[in-house]
């Protein structure tokens, strides 16, 4: 199994830019956030049952790298669990099991210190809302006892900070 580094954080916190950059620095594969690919194709609002579909494919894509040394993941089970709780008020048994049992070696939690940028899949433009999601993700990481670090900074400095934070894991 590869050393898996998950990147999570609220909307517009730099995850999608950080993921391929970090994978390039580590010369490894990465898995993009499948929800960004899936949601535009369904031509309707996301429903509760879609979350299991999204997480199933996200995890399947991660598993394709089982023989690699490292893997960088743009999102992980915590994000889908929180999404289910916040939007639908419930979590499926599948999501709960994955949240509890899926292994990630280290998580980079992106702080919402970047400007919010509009995107069809984003819905929380205010800093307070994004900070609340950040706090929820941090609480989940602590509940699970997962090792993590908070990534802050602007531009290239943010990337360098992330690389320094994971250097101890490598």
- Sorted by where each begins, the domain ranges of the chain are 3-166
Say how far apart CA 22 and CA 6 lie, in whole Å.
11
For position 27, what pLDDT does the model report? 94
In this predicted structure, the answer to whether residue 66 has a pLDDT above a threshold of 80 is yes
- In the chain, how long is the greatest CA-to-CA distance? 43
Computed over every residue of the chain, the mean pLDDT equals 95
Alpha carbons within 13 A on the beta-carbon side of 41: 8
pLDDT digits (tens, 9 = 90+) for 25-34: 999 999 999 9
Taking residues 94-116, report their average pLDDT: 95
Taking residues 65-71, report their average pLDDT: 94
Give me the sheet containing 29-31, strands edge to edge. 29-31, 70-74, 3-8, 106-110, 148-151
- According to DSSP, residue 168 is labeled T
| CATH dotted code for 3-166 | 3.40.50.300
Work out the angle at residue 113's Cα, subtended by the Cα atoms of residues 28 and 78, and round it to the nearest 5 degrees.
55
Say how far apart CA 4 and CA 58 lie, in whole Å.
14
* Banded pLDDT at 170 (limits 50, 70, 90): confident
Taking residues 92-113, report their average pLDDT: 97
pTM for the whole structure: 0.95
């Amino acid at each position: 199994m590869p050393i898996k580094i998950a990147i999570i954080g609220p909307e517009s916190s730099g995850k999608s830019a950080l993921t391929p950059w970090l994978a390039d620095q580590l010369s490894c594969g990465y898995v993009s956030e499948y929800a960004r690919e899936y949601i535009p194709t369904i031509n309707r609002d996301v429903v509760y049952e879609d979350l299991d579909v999204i997480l199933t494919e996200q995890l399947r894509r991660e598993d394709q790298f089982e023989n690699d040394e490292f893997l960088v993941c743009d999102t992980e089970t915590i994000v889908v669990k929180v999404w289910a709780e916040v939007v639908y008020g419930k979590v499926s048994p599948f999501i709960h099991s994955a949240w509890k049992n899926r292994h990630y070696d280290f998580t980079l939690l992106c702080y919402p210190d970047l400007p919010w940028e509009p995107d069809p899949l984003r819905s929380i433009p205010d800093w307070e809302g994004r900070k609340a999601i950040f706090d929820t993700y941090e609480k989940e990481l602590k509940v699970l006892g997962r090792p993590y670090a908070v990534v802050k900074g602007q531009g290239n400095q943010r990337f360098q900070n992330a690389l320094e934070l994971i250097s101890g894991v490598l």
